[in-house]
Structure 1
Amino acid sequence: MKSSAAKHMSLLVLALALSLSCLGSSALAANETDPSSAALPPASGTMSEEEELAELSSVFMPIVKEGSNAFKAMKDEVGKKCTAEYPPSSFPATEDGLVEMVENYTRCFSDKLGFPIATGYRGPLAEEEAIFTTRKPASNWTGISEGQLVPSGSVMKSFLGVAAFNVLNSTEGAVTWDTPMYPFVNRVLSRDFNTSLDELFDDKRIKDVTIQQLLSMTSGLQDYGEDMAPEFIGYGPGNTQEASFTPIEYIDNMIQTWGNKLKCDPGTCHYYSSNGFAFAGMMLVDILGLDSWKDLDILELAFQSNPGLKSEFNNTVASTPNKLCSEYGQLPDGSNRVVSQWSENGTNLYDYDCFDGWAFGNLMIDAPDTASWFWHLYGLRDILGTEDVDLMLTPTNTSSTYGLASEINAMQGQGKLNNRYSWAGHQGTDWGSSNSGAGLFMPNAKDNGKERAFALSLTQNDLSIHGQDDFAQTTSLTRASTVYLANAIIQLLEKNFEDS
C-alpha cells in the first residue's frame, strides 16, 4: 500500500503473523551503536530536505548496516530504557495517572526512536473520551497535530469486515459467509473493468472461494508484488502516474507476480492478501446494487448497525480516487488536515495522490479514533453483537493469528505482556506513516470480564530515515513500542481493580 497492503508492510505483517520472530530480542554487541542514545541532529534552519535526510540517516544508518539482530536489539533496548525511566509503579492508578503515563511513554519512544508519534487510548480509565498525546523528537520534524488524519492503510480491513457483516445481515440469509464470490465479483469485473475471474485466473478453484475465505486470508490468493511499492505515491507533481490505482491494477500485479493460479484449495492455507479484500469489496458492491465500485461507502456501512455512533467518527475519512492529500483541506488551527508524509528521497507527498487501496487500505484516521473504533468493536461490542465479534476473533484452521478481518494474539507470549491479555485489531501502514498499534488488549479468559479490556493506538509519521527498503522496520518499531506501553497500562489497570 501505500497501505499495509504495500508489499513492505504485507511482508512484515505476514512475518509477524507466522513467526513473530521480529518481536524477539538480542543484546547489543559491545562494538555496535546504541541507537536509543543517539542524538538527533539539531535543526539548522537552512538545510534542504535532502541534507536533513542525510543527517538523520547518519544517526540511524549504523542500525540499518548491522542488520536484523541490531534492529531487534534496538526495539528491546528502547522499551527497556523507557520502562526504566517511567516505571508503571510510579503512576497512580487513576485516569490522571494514566494520562501522565501515556504522555511520558509517548515522549520517550518518540525521542529514542527518532520520529513523531501520536498515541490514543480508550478503556476503563477513559471510557467516555479517548486520551490523545503526541510528540515530535526535534524541531526539524513535522509532528502530528490533534485531529490530523494519518493515512493508516490496512486498519481499513476491520471496517470492511464490519461492513460485510451488516450487508450480509441485510440479505436475510440469501447471502451467507459460505456463499461463493464468483457470480457477484464477475458482474462487477465485467461492468467496471471489462474482464472476469475466468479471464484473470486459469484455475477452476476460483469459483469456490467464499466471502469468509476472502476476509480471513484463506482464499489461496496472494498479495500484489513489491515492484508496485515505488509507484504508491500515485499521481502528483512530476509523477508519470496520471490517476489513482484502481482495484484491478493491484489484482493484475498480483497475477503478474505470483501467477494466475491459487496457491492452495480455498480454506486450506493462509496468505496475507489485500486483494482478497478488493474482491470482497466488489462482492458487496454487487449485493447492494451499486452503479460502480467507487460508490461503496465502507464507513457508512460499518456503522449501519449502530448509526448513532457514526458522529463520534466524523473526523475519520475514506480517501477517494484522484484526490491529492492537499485537497482534504486544513484544520481550524491552519495545519493540514492530512499529516505530511515523505518518500525515501525526502519528497513531501502532501501534494500527491492520497487514495490507497480502496477496500483494503484507503482509511485516514487519527490515533484517538483508532482507539475508539477498537474499543467500541471489541470492548464495548456496541458496533456488532457478541456472536459476530467472536467470529472475527476466532482463528482460522490455517492460522492462529488471523480471524475475520482481524489480527489476533499477534503480541501474546513475547515476554512483555501480562499473559492474561491478548491483542486484536488490525495495524496498517502508508507510504510515510503507519498506525502500528491499532488493536485491543483484552483478557484471554472471557469470564475475567471485559472491564479490563482497553484499546491502544500508536501512529507514527516517518521521514523514511531507514530508507525505502527498511520502511517496514520503522512500522515494527512503533508496534513493539505499543507492547511496552500496553504492559505498563495493564499493570496500572490491575492495580486500579485491586484498590477498588
Structure 2
Amino acid sequence: MTGRQLTRTGLAALAAAAVAATAFAAPAQAEERPTVRHTATQQAFDTLVKSGLPGVTGQARDAKGVWKGASGVGNLKTGKARGKDDRFRIGSITKTFVATVLLQLEAEGKLDLDDTVEKHLPGLVTGNGNDGSTVTVRQLLNHTSGLYDYTSSPSFAERYFLASGFFENRYTSVAPETWVKEAMTRPPNFTPGDRHDYSNTNYVLAGLVLEKVTGDSYENQVRERIIKPLGLKATTVPGDSPRMPKQSARGYSKLADSPTTVKVYDVTELNPSVAWAAGDMISSAGDLNRFFSALMRGKLIPAEQLKAMKTTVSGYGLGIGTGTIGCGVTLWGHGGGIHGSGSSAVTTEDGRHTLTFNVNGHWGGDGDPVAAEFCGTKAKKGVAAKGSATLTGAGFNTGFNTGFADGFTRR
C-alpha cells in the first residue's frame, strides 16, 4: 500500500468546491485563563496522570471561549511536559470522518446507503457464510453487518499487539483488502441487520467503497472534503508514514495481554495501515472540536444525511455514538484507541460545547474529564469516574480502558 498517502486526481477538486460553499469557519478565539468553570476538567486530567498514565492533553470550546489543559509528561525519557496543542493518533475517531464523506456522497447522488457491498466491491465479501449481497453500506457504518472484526483475531494480536510481533511488524505496510480477507476466514457473527456489534472490518470496507465510488483515495477525499474546507491544519491522513508530526508526545504501550504487566514500550512510530480507514488519522484537540461542532451544526452534510447519521442502534449511529452522562447531559461523539494513544471527542447536539482529550498511554486509568467538563461539581454525584467518558451509549470509550483485546479500536 505504499504511496496511498499521495494525492490522486479525480472528483476531489469538485467535491472540495461543493463543500467549501458551506464550510464552517470558526472565529478566532483566545485561550481562556484557568477558571472555576474548568477546574473540574483539569482535576480530571490530573487524576488520569496520578492513576499511572504518562500524560493527557485536551481542549474545551463553548460560547465563552476556548480552554486548553494538560497534565503529566509527553516524554518519559526526558520528562518533557505534555503540550496543550499536541497532535496525536485519533484511532477510531477516524470512523466519523469516513462516515461523513460517505454521507456527502449520498447527498450528491453517487451512492445509496442501502446499496449492497457487493454492488461496489464485487466478490470481496464472500466465503464461510459471508455474503456481500446481504450487507449494506448503512450496516457497515452503524456496525450492524455482523462481519467478524479482524482485530479480534488472536493471530492479529500476536502480530501487532504483543511485543515480539509489534517490533517485527511496526513498519510493515499492509493493503486494506488483507484485513477483509482475514475477516472472511471467520463466519459472520449474526445475520446482517439483526443487532449492533462493533467491527473494524466494517470501516475498512467503507473506505474501499468510498474509493470505488469516487475513483480517488480515501485519504485524499477526507483532505479535500473535510480537512481543507474546515482549515484543520493539525489533521492529517498519514497513509503509510510511521512518524508523528512535530509538537506531539511520545506514545507508550505495555504490549502485553496481562493488566499486571509493568514494562512500558515507546510505540510512537507505527505504520498506520494496520488500521487504515478504521483508525489511522492524526489530529489535535482543537481540530477535532471544530470538526464535531461543524458536523453537528449541519455544516458538512445536509439535514437529511445528518438525521440518518444520528439514527442509532444501541446508541451508535453512522460513525458517531450518543449517550447521557450522570447529570443528564446528552452528548454525541466518538472515542478511539491505537498503540500509545487513547482519545475521546464529544459535543452537545447543537455543537456549541465540545471537549476532546488524549492520553499517551495504551492502558487504563482513573478520571472522567467528560463528566467533569459537562457536569462540573455535579460530577461528584453518581457519575462514573473509571475509564473516561463511559456513557450509556456506545462510541465514547477512549480505547485506553477497553482492554488489550480491543486493540486500537473498540470505541
CA distance in 2, matches of 1:384, 1:394: 15
Q: Distance in 1 between matches of 2:233 and 2:171?
A: 30
- The 8 Å contact of residues 217 and 271 in structure 1, kept in 2 or not, is answered as yes
Q: Equivalents in 1 of 2:294, 2:218: separation in Å?
A: 26
Are 2:362 and 1:362 aligned?
no
Q: Does 1:425 align with 2:333?
A: yes
Q: Which runs of 5+ in 2 are unaligned?
A: 1-31, 256-262, 380-411
Partner of 1:299: 222
When residues 235 and 131 of structure 1 are mapped into structure 2, their CA distance, relative to the original with a 3 A threshold, is: farther
Match of 1:131 among 60, 64, 67: 67
Describe the shift of the 1:120–1:318 C-alpha distance in structure 2 as closer, same or farther (beyond 3 A).
Answer: same
SS at match of 1:175: coil
Cα drift, residue 434 of structure 1 = 0.6
**Contact persistence 2:115–2:136 (CA under 8 A):** yes
1:366-381 equivalent positions in 2, closer than 5 A: 366-378=284-296, 380-381=297-298
TM normalised by structure 1 equals 0.60
Q: Is the 8 A contact 1:218 1:268 kept in 2?
A: yes
1:185 is matched with 121
Return the letter of the residue paired with 1:231.
Answer: R
Pairing 1:148–2:62 present = no
> Are the aligned partners of 1:122 and 1:454 in contact in 2 as well (CA < 8 Å)?
yes
Structure 1 residues without counterparts, runs of 5 or longer: 1-92, 187-195, 332-336, 443-449, 465-470, 492-500
> 4+ runs of 1 displaced by more than 6 Å?
233-237
Instruction: Note the C-alpha offset of 1:121.
Output: 0.8
Match of 1:133, SS state, is strand
Q: Name the SS for the 1:154 alignment partner.
A: helix
Q: For the Cα contact (< 8 Å) 2:55–2:70, is it kept in 1?
A: yes
Aligned in 2, Cα 1:354/1:360: closer, same or farther, shift over 3 Å?
closer
Matches within 5 A, 1:67-466: 96-126=35-65, 130-136=66-72, 140=76, 143-170=81-108, 172=109, 175-186=111-122, 196-197=123-124, 200-203=126-129, 205-224=131-150, 225-227=152-154, 228-232=156-160, 239=168, 243-256=172-185, 259=186, 261-290=187-216, 296-303=219-226, 308-309=229-230, 311=231, 313-321=232-240, 323-325=241-243, 328-331=244-247, 337=248, 339-344=250-255, 345-378=263-296, 380-396=297-313, 399=314, 401-409=315-323, 412=324, 416=326, 418-419=327-328, 421-435=329-343, 437-442=344-349, 450=350, 453-462=352-361
Give, in angstroms, the shift of residue 244 of structure 1. 2.1
Partners of 2:73 and 2:80 within 8 A in 1:
no
Relative distance call for 1:490 and 1:454 in structure 2 (3 A) is farther
SS of the counterpart of 2:265? coil
The alpha-carbon deviation at position 144 of structure 1 amounts to 2.9
C-alpha deviation, 1:226, in angstroms: 4.3
CA-CA distance at 1:216 after TM superposition: 0.7
Identity, in percent, stands at: 16
Counterpart of 2:11 in structure 1 is none
Displacement of 1:94 after TM fit?
10
263-272 or 202-211: bigger deviation: 202-211
CA distance in 2, matches of 1:236, 1:324: 16
Q: Secondary structure at the match of 1:119?
A: strand
What SS does the aligned partner of 1:434 have?
Answer: strand
- Give the whole-Å Cα distance in 2 for the aligned partners of 1:403 and 1:116: 31
Paired residues of 1:422 and 1:441 also in contact (CA < 8 A): yes
Query: Aligned-pair distance for 1:222?
Result: 2.4
Counterpart residue identity of residue 107, structure 1: D
Deviation at 1:487, TM superposition (A): 1.2
Task: Provide the C-alpha distance between the structure 2 equivalents of 1:133 and 1:340, rounded to a whole number of angstroms.
Answer: 18
Change beyond 3 A, Cα 1:237–1:113: closer
Matched AA of 1:244: S
Q: Please state how far the C-alpha of 1:108 moved relative to its aligned partner.
A: 4.1
Please name the residue that 2:401 is paired with.
none
